[in-house]
Amino acid sequence: MREDQVYAELVKAALDARKTAYVPYSHFSVGAALLTGEGEICTGGNIENASYGATNCAERTAIFKAVSQGKRAFRAIAIAGGMEGLEPVEYAYPCGICRQVMQEFAGEDFRVLVVKSPSDYRVHTLEELLPYGFGGESIR
């Protein structure tokens, strides 16, 4: 499959994963779809908590699900977010904590797709979103 076809599938999965978000407080549902090195897609939604700080973002839900299943090589992640029940009106850029978690597992080729609609998304490198990042090599 061509890269743009794979991305189109990943973008759809992120938009679809918004349905799994648990967002009784913000009503802002985010979906993430992670593409593994083997070409599998692992999805996640944001999971809020009455103790707001315990909330988990969609990106980390997807990444932690995959890592807990023994996957560690990832090619891309697509992210879509907007008010619950409505289509996104903006590109969904990941928060700082999620950028840091991506840094832990992302290789040079990793791409971050921020999604507005199935046909409207931007592709970024993690370096663009997290320049001068802190990683494992920083503490060796």
Active site includes 59? yes
Q: Does 46 bind ligand THU (CB under 6 A)?
A: yes
* 23 touches ligand THU (CB under 6 A): yes
Q: Which strands make up the sheet holding 41-45, listed edge to edge?
A: 41-45, 28-36, 74-83, 106-117, 120-125
With CB under 6 A as the contact rule, the residue among 14, 57, 77, 112 that binds ligand THU is 57
Q: Does 26 bind ligand THU (CB under 6 A)?
A: yes
Backbone angles phi, psi at 47, to 5 degrees: -125, 105
Q: Is 55 one of the binding residues for ligand THU (CB under 6 A)?
A: yes
**Is the Cβ of residue 55 or residue 100 nearer to ligand THU in the bound state?**
55
Query: CB of 101 within 8 A of CB of 61?
Result: no
| Helices 58-68 + 96-105 axis angle, to 10 | 30
In angstroms, what is the minimal distance from the CB of 108 to ligand THU? Answer: 22
- Say how many Å lie between the first and final Cα of the chain, rounded: 38
**Contact residue for ligand THU among 39, 87, 95, 120 (CB under 6 A):** 95
Q: DSSP character for 16?
A: H
| Closest CA relative to residue 17, chosen from 48, 43, 36, 55 | 43
Separation CA 139–CA 122 (nearest Å): 32
Residue closer to ligand THU by CB (options 14, 59) is 59
Report, in Å, the least distance between residue 23 CB and ligand THU.
6
Q: Which residues are catalytic?
A: 59
Instruction: Please report, as ranges, the residues that interact with ligand THU according to CB under 6 A.
Output: 23, 26, 28, 30, 46, 48, 55, 57-59, 94-95, 98
